[in-house]
Amino acid sequence: LYEEIERNRLFKPTVPKKEDRSIMNVCWVMEEQYKDLEQEFLSFAQSRGMVGIKGHRSVGGFRASLYNALPVESVKALIDTMQEFEKMKAK
């Protein structure tokens, strides 16, 4: 998931240093030029069955909690959603 966040033109990680990132709670935000698309991405993800990825109210952005019970397919579905949104919105 972090690889996609770094690769995707719309997003960036909230914690730049890889060694400081959580492996259980992956947090990211929209790149500054796409900040106005945050709510649209949340709605887009929700329309594909992804709920609860809105980040903390003081930080904004997004958070995916990757606990043991979460299947790998769910992470792949989120990555696919991010890539599809990028194709639609990236300039």
In 3D space, the residue among 37, 43, 49, 38 whose CA is nearest the CA of residue 78 turns out to be 49
CATH number of the structural domain spanning residue 62: 3.90.1150.10
Give the residue numbers spanning the domain of 20.
2-89
The β-bridge relationship of strands 62-65 and 11-13 is unpaired
Tally of domains within the chain:
1
Dump pLDDT digits (tens) for 35-85.
Answer: 999 999 999 999 999 999 999 888 889 999 998 888 999 999 999 999 999
User: What are the residues whose beta carbons fall under 8 Å from the beta carbon of 28, sequence distance 6 or more?
Assistant: 5, 11, 12, 13, 14, 61, 62
pTM over 0.85: yes
